[in-house]
Chain A
Amino acid sequence: MSEPVMRSPLHSFGLASQARQIDDSCGVWANEIPYLGYISLRGDGRDQTFVTAASNALGVPLPLQSCTLSSSNDLKVLWLSPDEWMIVAAPGQANALRSCLQQALAGVRSQVVDNSGGYTKIFLGGSKALDVLRHVSVYDFESLQPNRVVGTTFGKSSAYVFRQGDGYRLIVRRSFADYIWRYLARAATPYGFGIANAAPG
Chain B
Amino acid sequence: MFVFFCPHCGENREEEEFGYGGEAFIPRPSAPETLDDDAWGDYLFMRKNPKGWHWEMWSHNTGCRKFFVVKRNTATNAIAGSWTLSDGRKAYDAEGGAT
B93 at the interface (CB under 8 A from A): no
A198 at the interface (CB under 8 A from B): no
Q: Name the CB-closest residue of B to A155.
A: B16
Question: In the bound complex, how far is the Cα of B62 from the Cα of A158, in angstroms?
Answer: 6
A139: chain B residues within 8 A (beta carbon): 13-14, 17
A52 at the interface (CB under 8 A from B): no
Question: Would you call B14 and A151 a contact (CB within 8 A)?
Answer: no
Question: Would you call B62 and A82 a contact (CB within 8 A)?
Answer: no
Q: Name the CB-closest residue of B to A157.
A: B62
Question: Would you call A158 and B61 a contact (CB within 8 A)?
Answer: yes
Question: Would you call B66 and A152 a contact (CB within 8 A)?
Answer: no
Question: Would you call B17 and A67 a contact (CB within 8 A)?
Answer: no
Contact of A82 among B8, B13, B14 (CB under 8 A): B8
Number of A-B contacts (CB under 8 A): 45
B62: chain A residues within 8 A (beta carbon): 151-154, 158
B13: chain A residues within 8 A (beta carbon): 138-139, 152
Question: In the bound complex, how far is the Cα of B8 from the Cα of A81, in angstroms?
Answer: 7
**Nearest chain B CB to A140's CB is how many angstroms away?**
9
Tell me the A68-105 residues at the B interface (CB within 8 Å): 80-82, 84
Known: A81-B66, A152-B17. A67 touches B61 (CB 8 A): no
Interface size class of B (residues with CB under 8 A): 10 to 19
Known: A66-B8, A66-B9, A66-B10. A153 touches B17 (CB 8 A): yes
B66: chain A residues within 8 A (beta carbon): 81-82
Interface size on A, residues (CB 8 A): 14
Contact of B64 among A80, A153, A154 (CB under 8 A): A80
B9: chain A residues within 8 A (beta carbon): 66-67, 150-151
Question: Would you call A150 and B63 a contact (CB within 8 A)?
Answer: yes
B65 at the interface (CB under 8 A from A): yes
Query: Interface on A for B, CB 8 Å cutoff?
Result: 66-67, 80-82, 84, 138-139, 150-154, 158
Query: Interface on B for A, CB 8 Å cutoff?
Result: 8-11, 13-14, 16-17, 61-66
What would 9 A/B residue contacts be, using CB atoms closer than 8 Å?
A66-B10, A66-B64, A80-B65, A82-B8, A139-B17, A150-B9, A151-B62, A153-B14, A158-B62
Q: A81-B64, A151-B64, A153-B16 are in contact. List 8 more A-B contacts (CB 8 A).
A: A66-B11, A67-B9, A81-B8, A81-B66, A84-B64, A150-B11, A151-B65, A154-B62
